[in-house]
Amino acid sequence: MINNAVKFSSAGGKIKLTAKRLSKEVKVCIKDSGVGISNENLKKIREGISFTTRGLNNESGTGLGLVLVREYVKKNNGKLEVDSILGEGTTFCLYLPLSN
C-alpha cells in the first residue's frame, strides 16, 4: 500500500502513515495526496478483484498487492477501508484485532 501511495503521488506529494491503538484493535492508515482512485476501481478493491493501473511514471505492477492485503486482513479477522477522491488522494485504513 505504501508502494501504491508513492506510485500514484506526484513528486513533492505527501504520504502520511498513522497507527493508533483502539480498545480492541489497532488502526493503521496510509493517506496520500495522489491522483485518487476511480469509483469503478474502488469497487474492485472492495470486492477483492485484481486489476492493474500504470503509475505516474509508467510503473507497472502485478495487480496482486491490494488483493493480498485484503486477504491478509480478512484471515486475521480485521477489516480494510478505502476512501478516495479523484485528484485529491486516497486513504487506506487497516483494522487488526489486538491479541490477548
5-26: pLDDT as tens digits:
988 888 899 999 999 999 999 9
Domain containing 15: what range? 2-97
Asked whether the beta carbons of 92 and 81 are under 8 A apart, the reply is yes
Number of domains in the chain: 1
At residue 8, the 3 state secondary structure works out as coil
40-90 pLDDT, tens digit each: 999 998 888 888 888 888 888 777 788 899 999 999 999 999 999 999 999
What is the pTM assigned to this prediction?
0.87
For the CA atoms of 69, 72, 75, 76, what is the dihedral angle to 10 degrees? -110
Report how far residue 89's alpha carbon sits from residue 19's, in angstroms, rounded to the nearest whole number. Answer: 19
CATH number of the domain that residue 23 is part of: 3.30.565.10
CA angle 35, 42, 32 (to 5 degrees): 35
